[in-house]
Structure 1
Amino acid sequence: MLKARPGSGIPDYSVFPKARWHVTRSASAGVEVFADLHADVGEAPHWDERTRTLLSVDLTAGAVFRYEQSGRKLGSFCVGQEVGAAVPRRSGGLVLAVRDGIAVASDAGEGFALAAPVERDIPGNRMNDAKCDPAGRLLAGTMAFDFSPHSAVLYRVEPDWSFAQVVGDVTQSNGIAWSPSGSQMYFIDSATQGVDVFDYDTGTGSAFNRRRLVTIDRARGIPDGMTVDSRGNLWVTCFGGATVCCFSPAGVQLDEVVFPVTQVTSCAFGGPDLANLYVTSAAYRLSSDQLKREPHAGATFVCRPGAVGMPASSFAG
């Protein structure tokens, strides 16, 4: 069983063996360092179409970053607790998935306030990944700091800050994405080693008819964050496996992009033509020898794998 660093809520993925598998690698990817953050746990890249900038977080440091498309850092701020994701609001500023629930702040981090105290009454849990559906609702999941099985939930947060359970019996809520039509929702509970697909009602924000789409062998890493391109293909980061894998809507692996760091965490399409794939990574618990071999661990990378993404939704509240 995986053990977490006390209080971190992050498992020790170093126990996984090195991956041994063979898939054709994307010749067009050309992976480059976009921002050498040296983040402990870089997460949740989000291309903000409004400002044409990239948002991301360092989860354990409680930090939010914004970069322009050239890679120049525009600003950052800390929220004083773990932060799993930062998403723009249509009314201005940001909505944040933090330890104590869902919070708001200005683009510069001013006026930080808790807007929806999701699971604040469960001190052993925290928020993790979060994204907005096509209608502008926030889907945000939780997890236990000690990884207690089946103790977490994927929630739907409405623009009026009311919230309700969408998926229960979760262990580690991670990647969330929607098909181009919005009629299907993809979800990763990392503890299950795969991607599940639901039918999704954009009118009500309801997900139903859950079934398994992709199962990833443990030797290839842990499925973490993901995104969907304009053709409906899924791009899934494999933490511990140094790869982002592309799967068709039918679950067939189409491609693989390999990175110079093992702990890739999440991904998002962006850039002026939405053809850049931004990929965050972590330096979490790497030894000094490992950091010598992976000097860019914790960086945000960029590549062009030959796909085009879709504009990310912002929060309607």
Structure 2
Amino acid sequence: MILAEPYSDVVAQHGEGPVWDPTDESLALVDMLRGDVVVVDGSHIDRRHVGRVAAAIRPRSQGGWVLGVEQGFALAGRSFTEPSHLPPLWSDTDLRMNDGACDPYGAFLCGSLSTSGRPGAGALYRMTSDHEVKEVLGQITTSNGLGWSLDGSRAYFIDSATQRLDEYRYDETGGFSDQRPLARIPVADGIPDGLTVDAEGGVWVALYGGSAVVRYAPDGRLTHRVRVPVSQPTACTFGGPGLATLLVTTSSLGLERGSEPLAGAVFAVVPGVVGQPSQAFGG
């Protein structure tokens, strides 16, 4: 097991959705329940408020950012000033967006959950570059990690309530089919949360409550375990020179005040495997 070390000070209450920005060589993430985007550039921290919930963030191919917000999607420029919110996808105030990523075809996917914990109330939505949105998976309880195989033919998805990392066949229309469990995570190891896929096709999964990030090979073998010195890792991505550093966001949500002084910081480790550039949104 290898140990991650602090990359930043505490920057979020519930940090999520990290993505490396090669243009500025900085890390963007969301402080989800405060509705903020946080950009970490060395010791400089920039924070922008984008709504009641900032669920996910990814770059746009034409510049700027696409966001998952409380009830749908939003678009923003480089500075995040006055993001443009697209029409909401629902009116149920018990639902909110939670995590998202861009697929190999330039579409942005983000999934929802019920804040009261209603089983199966969430769904996964896909927005294409022309801003058309459709539901691609339903009956989800806690929509979380999302990524794709190197050739784009398979999607990896986590509904945290299942304690699984699932694999699907995937196509250019956003079709999910032939679901199968790639890995089952014991409850004692933590709750599977956000994920990223490295340049060798390995899937890294943050274990919320488990103080760890684990890596599964494409055949489902557990190959790496990174220890994180706080209990609630939320998500991960690769960044830094050569995308050689695994960066891990964390949360202090629900913890006793002062019990984990570094909860909400970003942690880093060089695991010996490099990442791949984040896919941008085509719209």
User: Under a length normalisation based on structure 2, what TM-score does the superposition of the two structures give?
Assistant: 0.96
Q: Is 1:227–2:227 an aligned residue pair?
A: no
1 CA distance for matches of 2:8 and 2:115? 28
| Contact map agreement 1:198 1:210 (CA 8 A) in 2 | yes
Spell out the pairing of 1:1-317 with structure 2 (5 A cutoff). Answer: 25-26=1-2, 30-68=3-41, 71-73=42-44, 75-119=46-90, 121-201=91-171, 203-288=172-257, 291-292=258-259, 294-317=260-283
CA distance in 2, matches of 1:285, 1:127: 20
8 A contact 1:269–1:276 mirrored in 2? yes
| Cα deviation, residue 66, structure 1 | 1.2
Q: Partners of 1:161 and 1:200 in 2: how far apart?
A: 20
Q: Which runs of 4+ in 1 moved over 3 A?
A: none
Q: Secondary structure at the match of 1:39?
A: coil
Instruction: Report the CA distance between 1:38 and its aligned residue.
Output: 4.7
**Cα distance between partner residues in 1 of 2:211 and 2:261:** 14
Distance 1:155 1:200 in 2: 14
- Unaligned stretches of 5+ residues in structure 1: 1-24
1:172-193 CA-to-partner distances (Å, cap 9, x unmatched) read 1000011111111000000000
Q: Distance in 1 between matches of 2:188 and 2:45?
A: 38
Q: Percent identity?
A: 41
Deviation (angstroms), 1:122 = 2.1
Q: How big is each residue's C-alpha offset from its partner over 1:65-118, in whole Å with a ceiling of 9 and x where there is no partner?
A: 1123xx232522012311111111112211111112101122222122212422
* Separation (CA, whole Å) in 2 of partners of 1:91 and 1:51: 15
> What SS does the aligned partner of 1:60 have?
helix
Secondary structure of the residue aligned to 2:180 is: strand
CA distance in 1, matches of 2:135, 2:158: 16
- RMSD over aligned Cα atoms: 1.3
Q: Distance in 1 between matches of 2:253 and 2:46?
A: 23
Deviation, 1:159, is 1.0
Residue 61 of structure 1: CA displacement?
0.9
Question: Do the aligned residues in 2 keep the contact of 1:38 with 1:296 (CA within 8 Å)?
Answer: no
String of CA shifts for 1:177-231, please: whole Å, max 9, x gaps.
1111111100000000011000111x32222111111110111110000111111
> 1: distance between equivalents of 2:86 and 2:265?
30
CA contact (8 A) 2:19 2:278 kept: yes
Structure 2: state its 5+ residue gaps.
none
Structure number having the greater strand percentage: 2
For residues 217 and 174 of structure 1, the distance between their equivalents in structure 2, rounded to whole angstroms, comes to 17
Query: What's 1:20 paired with?
Result: none
Report the counterpart of residue 9 of structure 1 in structure 2.
none
User: Which shifted more, 76-85 or 109-118?
Assistant: 109-118
Judge conservation of contact 1:277–1:305 (CA < 8 Å) in 2. yes
Residue matched to 1:12: none
- Provide Cα deviations, 1:7-26, integer angstroms capped at 9, x if missing partner: xxxxxxxxxxxxxxxxxx13
SS at match of 2:277: coil
Cα distance in 2, alignment partners of residues 116 and 87 from structure 1: 19
Measure, in 2, the Cα distance between the counterparts of 1:295 and 1:256: 23
